Amino acid sequence: MRGGRVQVTDLQKHYGDVPAVRGISIDIAAGEFFSLLGPSGCGKTTTLRMIAGFETPTSGDILIDGSDMSRVPANERPVNTVFQNYALFPFLSVEDNVAFGLRYQKVGKSDAKRKVGEALEMVRMGQYAKRKPGQLSGGQQQRVALARTIVLGPRVLLLDEPLGALDAKLRKALQIELKSLQQSLGITFIYVTHDQEEALTMSDRLAVMAGGLVEQVGTPAEVYDSPATAYVADFLGNANVLDVEVAGPAGTGRTTVRLAGQTLTCQGDAGPGDAVKLVVRPERLRLEGAAAESSAIDGSVSRVVYQGPTTDIHVRLGDGEELVVRLPSARAGQHSTGEVVTVHCQPDALRLLPRGALS
């Protein structure tokens, strides 16, 4: 099996006067695990369905390995799709489910049997070949659905929230399995999800979508650590996204802002009146041990939320805004509701960003 490069150029889809996808362009490398991440209604599934051939674009191009697929029927494209509900035939055995698509290819019985056996072994379901889907767990059914798609040798595998119906522990386990499977197959995976942890765990790169547009494309580390807009920062992981008043420049690439009556220095260039948000990750804040050049914000603890290894300390500022500080639980027990505290943060932890889809 080999990967397939997917190029989407100015892709649009309108349902009547309603735009679902508003002109997106993405270049997905052959053999890449690429995720489309965003909330319901952002256009990610519509984009996937257009790549699959289940929806016809209003305009734009879809190329796979340089060939235009925009008007090619779904059954003639070198792609296959795994759906959230798996779409297994309940009256067929596991091996017959996996072999079903091979009926429409010119594959001999012995070759078909070999291909089915190899596909089931890849997903560790060989011992369940004679069972019916109703005799399998949700995770096992998901593996069968994967085997049924990879047995056909697609260049691109499309996955529409395939882990959505599983419990949290099983989802975490299958995230690792899916990534390992993709690496061993070497084919392109395009994965649709609204789950940020899934996208961060599995993706080589991801596109964060909102309102039918792509807000940012990058590696998980790039998108998390250097979000392009306040929307991306707020959607991907937890972030404090705050309204501030721009005071003025503070040197190259830095700006001073006013928050809760206090002056802070942060990364980013902005001028008075610019539509920006102040963004800071909760794990980048501290409640003690002020470092050199750190900014300080006074407030009081409004809530303490224990989360196992970490604890979120909610700090209410003088203007009513709230900051969340994330600490290791071993160091968070000393703080309690009503306590007056000072939040410390380095300038490189504070970022001024365009509002993006938040505006």
pLDDT (tens digit per residue) in 254-266:
888 888 888 888 8
d(Cα 304, Cα 281) in Å, to the nearest integer? 17
pLDDT of residue 313: 95
Domain 240-358: CATH architecture, name and number where available: Beta Barrel (2.40)
pLDDT at position 227 is 92
Percentage, residues of the chain above pLDDT 70: 96
The overall pTM is greater than 0.85: yes
Mean pLDDT computed over 211-215: 96
Computed over every residue of the chain, the mean pLDDT equals 89
Q: What is the mean pLDDT of residues 345-354?
A: 86
Question: Residue 104's pLDDT is what?
Answer: 80
Q: State percent of the chain over pLDDT 90.
A: 55
> Where exactly does CATH 3.40.50.300 map onto the chain?
6-234
Higher-pLDDT residue of 179 and 168 is: 179
| CA separation for the pair 114, 220 (Å, rounded) | 37
- Give CA–CA dist 355/228, Å, rounded: 9
Give the CATH architecture of domain 6-234.
3-Layer(aba) Sandwich (3.40)
Select from 279, 186, 264 the least CA-distant residue to 232: 279
C-alpha 53: how far from chain center: 23
Name the most confidently modeled range: 6-10, 111-115, 118-122, 284-288.
Answer: 6-10
Q: Among 247-256, 301-310, 337-346, which stretch is predicted with the lowest mean pLDDT? A: 247-256
pLDDT band at 290 (very low <50, low <70, confident <90, very high): low
Phi, psi dihedrals of residue 319, rounded to the nearest 5°: -95, 10
Q: Lowest mean pLDDT of 8-12, 28-32, 40-44, 350-354, name the range.
A: 350-354
pLDDT at 92: 94
More confident residue, 251 or 343: 343
Give the mean pLDDT of 112-140.
Answer: 90
Higher pLDDT pick, 21 / 335: 21
Asked if the model's pLDDT at residue 293 lies above 80, the reply is no
Domain boundaries for CATH 2.40.50.140 within the chain: 240-358
Q: Is the pLDDT of residue 292 over 60?
A: no
DSSP for residue 46: H
Q: What is the pLDDT of residue 289?
A: 58
More confident site: 72 or 356: 72
Residue 22 has pLDDT above 70, yes or no: yes
- Whole-angstrom distance, CA of residue 100 vs CA of residue 295: 63
* Residue 346 confidence (pLDDT): 83
Residue 232 has a pLDDT of 93
* Mean predicted confidence (pLDDT) in 18-39: 96
Q: How many CB atoms lie within 10 A of CB 74?
A: 15
Q: How buried is residue 207: exposed, middle or buried, by Cβ count under 10 Å (0-12/13-18/19+)?
A: buried
Name which residue leads in pLDDT, 21 or 181: 21
Q: Average pLDDT of 239-266?
A: 86
| In contact, 175 and 182? CB cutoff 8 Å | no
Most confident of 216-225, 252-261, 267-276: 216-225
In this structure, which amino acid lies at residue 35? S
pLDDT band at residue 339 under the 50/70/90 scheme: very high
Of the pLDDT bands very low, low, confident and very high (cuts 50, 70, 90), residue 2 is low
Strands 6-15 and 33-37, how do they pair? unpaired
